A and B are shown apart, each in its own frame.
Chain A
Amino acid sequence: MRTAVNTKTLTLVQAVNDALRTMLKEREDVILLGEDIGKNGGVFRATEGLQEEFGEDRVIDTPLSEAGFTGAAIGMAINGLRPVVEIQFLGFIYPAYEQIMTHAARMRARTMGHFTVPMVIRAPYGAGVRAPEIHSDSTEALFTHMPGIKVVCPSTPYDAKGLLIAAIEDPDPVLFLEPMRSYRAFREDVPEGKYTVEIGKGKKLREGGDVTVIAWGAMVPVAVKAAESAEKKGIQADVIDLRTLYPLDKDIIADSVQKTGRTVIVQEAHATGGLANDILAVINDTSFLYQKAPVERVTGFDVPVPFFAYEDDYLPTPQRVLHAIEKAVNF
């Protein structure tokens, strides 16, 4: 048994940095690629100090070409390296979309396991920081739809480190989405050194018997706030942080919604084609007869993520979630 593990108090972005440093130390085959990740330490400082410590051939400032460095990372991964690429903002991943969809996600299937792509694609995502145009997308569903790539999205520093290490060790490609809005929102004790959080497992943040609130990434704090407000109105909510978006943690969802019979799903992305619909399918498939009310979805709208002057209207808020909770409970 391990006791008295040393911890450090870190923000989410520092925890990402710590995970990368831990794995660069731990494994010679880990290599980082991306725009401005070396000398500049990343535009969010997620890779701060890593090039200094591990050298220019392991922490690589690439040319400005997402298709180029993501494609190159696929080539590295099939040849024994464990690349971790940084996409500067999720909204700039689209040039690499072809590489991810047709190659990273399919290599194992196409070669019956003879070539594999153990790589991680990190990308800050989401709105709410008054960023310029295109910097605020949350298009996780474009990737959860594609078999062959896992999608992970932590909401806390502890999970960010543990899940990123797990993603780097995973034998398959992982898209690792970092909620930009939570990068420096709060600090938490994070163990030093290596530990993992299992991919595919959600986490229960609050226990309550009346309603289940499901969220991920930047929507987790929104869901928690709404649950706190609901409590003041005498409504007790289970709050689930999914943490992994593909594959979904079917059991944690089913257990909770069978208990409460009422569900609210909070999703930052557009409604149509969003992950909430897949969660709904899990509820339908596992727990149909337990349901006492229609599942409520609180989502971004079916509009391109707007300029920042409108983002407070676009983003789900604790008030909107509370409204949905009350609707589900009072059905």
Chain B
Amino acid sequence: MESQFPIIQIMNEQGCIVRSEYREQITKELVMTMYRHLIRTRMFDRKCISLQRQGRIGTYVPYEGQEACQVGSALALRDGDWMFPTYRDHGAMMTFGRSLTQTLLYWKGRTEGCIPPEGRKIVPPSVPIATQIPHAAGTAYAEKRKGTKNAVIVYFGDGATSEGDFHEGLNFASVFNVPVVFFNQNNQYAISVPITRQMKSKTIAQKAMAYDIPGIRIDGNDIFVVYFETQQALERARNGRGPTLIEAVTWRYGAHTTSDDPSKYRDQEESKRRRETADPIKRMERFMQQEGWWDEKWANQVQEEASVEIEQAVAEMERYPKANPADMFDYVFAQPTWTIAEQKNAYFQWKRGIEG
């Protein structure tokens, strides 16, 4: 199966283009946009870890190492497309238009963090594994029925492919030939469980065969292959040619969440080694250097801009009005039921009583 589903690259670890047919499409402008997002996404992630350590946000899910998957695939989307992320995909969400402040609010335990940005169809991250996959198939069904050219992307991890919802979602999408891209980030671990224990299959892409849809296996740390393969899958979807499963092979450098200790289950040297040899950002820098597009001053400026944006978002998060407990009662139904209305009244009456 590995030979049937080889890992495809456009840019190798040294930052060289290995598929020349893409040469012309890789413009300096595209590369600069990608790089800007990669840097912003990585810096944001590191900031969140430090905010969590200082108790300024709650448990946080880092994605460092997976930026090329998230940025590359999100940049391939068009304005009218839909995104169904997991808890680890705020890199993709922010690239597609979710604000940094909202992302921070989500991790601060605020419902406002789930509100989609104006005009953007970004569904809140799914926390229960794989549950968003059938939703994506259904949303794609609706787009097809409406006769639009919009497509849907849904993210999930390697572990998620063990849940029934993964198979049910792929089957549904395949039977009804709907415009959806199943974007798998195979970071090779589901918390502590390595992929070799998760499945006997050698690849995730091969699971597409069972549903008779295209299955593609790519180097998830090569932003070019992520971008172009996602774009092509989205094009197929828009043109009525149905779903695609993309397996992007990658690695998370850090912990599963800020509550996790990865040294319990894997050798930290492996992450160190991958940082050196396969980092998505370093690879992009090598490419830019070889191209003669690398400009130290510009790169510093990119970092500076990201840092300003991040600091502003943090300040905004911390200035945000206090959580309003009425919010938990007010959005359960279009019209609150008498149970909710009575409970809300009684609670606020009591609260006013004790607060004097």
Nearest A residue (CB) for B348: A313
Q: Does B127 contact A (CB under 8 A)?
A: yes
Which secondary structure dominates chain A's binding surface?
A: loop
How many residues from B make CB contacts under 8 Å with A? 44
B100-140 with Cβ < 8 A to chain A: 108-111, 113, 127-129
> In the complex, A133→B257 CA distance in Å?
14
Neighbour of A134 across the interface among B108, B127, B198, B329, CB < 8 A: B127
Within 8 A of B (CB), among A37-61: 38-41, 43, 61
CA distance A310 to B344 in the complex (A): 13
Are A36 and B328 touching (Cβ within 8 A)?
Answer: no
Does A306 reach chain B (CB closer than 8 Å)?
yes
Closest to B327 in A: A310
CB distance from B337 to the nearest CB of A (A): 7
The listed residue (B110, B159, B164) touching A309 by CB distance below 8 A is B110
Interface stretch among A87-95, A111-119, A170-178, A248-256?
A87-95
Complex interface bits, B332-356 against A, C-beta within 8 A gives 1, otherwise 0 = 1000010110011001001000100
Q: A320 near B164 (CB under 8 angstroms)?
A: no
Within the complex, what minimum Cβ distance (angstroms) separates B167 from chain A? 10
Whether, in the assembled complex, B62 has its beta carbon less than 8 Å from a beta carbon of chain A, the answer is no
B199 CB within 8 Å of chain A: yes
Indicate which residue in A39, A306, A314, A323 contacts B111 across the interface (CB closer than 8 Å). A306
Kindly list chain B residues whose C-beta atoms are within 8 Å of the C-beta of A66: 163
A35 B191 Cβ-Cβ under 8 A: yes
A135 touches B109 (CB 8 A): no
Q: Please measure, in the bound complex, the distance between the C-alpha atom of A272 and the C-alpha atom of B332, giving whole angstroms.
A: 14
Residues in A with CB closer than 8 Å to B265 are: 39-40
The digit string for A302-316, where 1 denotes a CB below 8 A from any CB of B, is 111011111101100
Interchain CB contact under 8 A, A302 and B343: yes
Interface residues of B in 122-171 (CB under 8 A from A): 127-129, 159-160, 162-165
CA distance A184 to B146 in the complex (A): 53
Q: Are B340 and A132 in touch, CB under 8 angstroms? A: no
B191 A95 Cβ-Cβ under 8 A: no
Expressed in whole angstroms, the Cα–Cα distance for A310 and B329 within the complex equals 11
Residue A287 at the chain B interface, CB threshold 8 Å: no
The interface centre, meaning the residue of A63, A131, A304, A309 with most chain B CB atoms within 10 A of its CB, is: A309
Taking a contact as CB atoms closer than 8 A, the residue among B87, B110, B162, B339 that contacts A63 in the complex is: B162
B307 at the A/B interface (Cβ < 8 Å)?
no
Q: Is A194 an interface residue (CB 8 A)?
A: no
B91 is an interface residue with CB less than 8 A from chain A: no
> Complex: how many Å from CA A307 to CA B129?
18
Closest-CB distance, A224 to chain B (whole angstroms) = 20
Separation of A271 and B337 alpha carbons in the complex (Å): 13
With an 8 Å Cβ cutoff, the count of chain A residues facing the other chain is 41
Which residues 115-133 in A have Cβ within 8 Å of B in the complex?
130-133
Are B128 and A68 neighbours in the complex by a CB distance under 8 Å? Answer: no
Residues 294-331 of A, flagged 1 when their CB comes within 8 A of B and 0 if not, give: 00000001111011111101100001100100000000
Nearest chain B CB to A28's CB is how many angstroms away? 24
Complex alpha-carbon distance, A271 and B347, angstroms: 13
Which residues from 63 to 118 on chain A have a C-beta closer than 8 Å to any C-beta of chain B? 63-68, 91-92, 94-95
Q: How far is the CA of A67 from the CA of B344 in the complex (A)?
A: 36
Complex CA distance for A92 and B162, rounded to whole angstroms: 14
Which residues of B lie under 8 Å from residue A68 when comparing CB positions? 162, 164
Residues of chain A lying within 8 A (CB to CB) of residue B257: 132
Chain A residue nearest to B257 in the complex (CB):
A132
Residues of A within 8 A of B109 (CB): 130, 307-311
* Contact status B59-A131, CB under 8 Å: yes
Task: Check A43 against B332 for contact (C-beta < 8 Å).
Answer: no
* Residues of chain A contacted by B347 (CB below 8 angstroms): 301, 313
Chain A residues lying within 8 Å of B350, measured Cβ to Cβ, are: 320, 323
A301 near B192 with CB under 8 A, answer no
- Digitize B261-273: 1 where CB-to-A-CB distance is under 8 Å, 0 elsewhere: 0001100000000
Nearest chain A CB to B313's CB is how many angstroms away? 17
Partner of B192, one of A36, A94, A131, A320: A36
When distances are taken between beta carbons in the complex, the residues of chain A under 8 Å from B59 are 130-132
How distant is B346 from chain A, measured CB to nearest CB, in Å? 10
Indicate if the CB atoms of B343 and A271 lie closer than 8 Å. Answer: yes
Whether B328 and A301, one on each chain, are in contact in the complex, defined by CB atoms closer than 8 angstroms, is yes
Counting chain A CB atoms within 10 Å of each CB, the highest count among B109, B165, B190, B344 belongs to B109
Q: In whole Å, how far is B221's beta carbon from the nearest beta carbon of chain A?
A: 23
* Cβ distance A213 to chain B, nearest Cβ, rounded Å: 18
- B56 CB, nearest partner CB in chain A, Å: 12
Cβ–Cβ < 8 Å partners of B128 in chain A? 91-92, 94-95, 134
- Render B69-82 as a binary contact track against A, CB cut-off 8 A, 1 for contact: 00000000000000
How many whole Å from B231's CB to the nearest CB in chain A?
30
Contacts of B160 in A (CB 8 A): 64
Of all chain A residues, the one with the shortest Cβ separation from B344 is A301
B127 touches A67 (CB 8 A): no
A271 vs B259: C-alpha distance when bound (angstroms): 31
Task: Apart from A301-B344, A303-B329, list 5 A-B contacts with CB within 8 A.
Answer: A43-B191, A64-B160, A304-B332, A309-B110, A313-B347
A residues whose Cβ falls under 8 Å from a Cβ of B = 35-36, 38-41, 43, 61, 63-68, 91-92, 94-95, 130-135, 271-272, 301-304, 306-311, 313-314, 319-320, 323
Among all A-B residue pairs, the 8 with the closest Cβ atoms: A308-B109, A40-B192, A313-B325, A309-B109, A63-B162, A64-B159, A309-B323, A306-B328
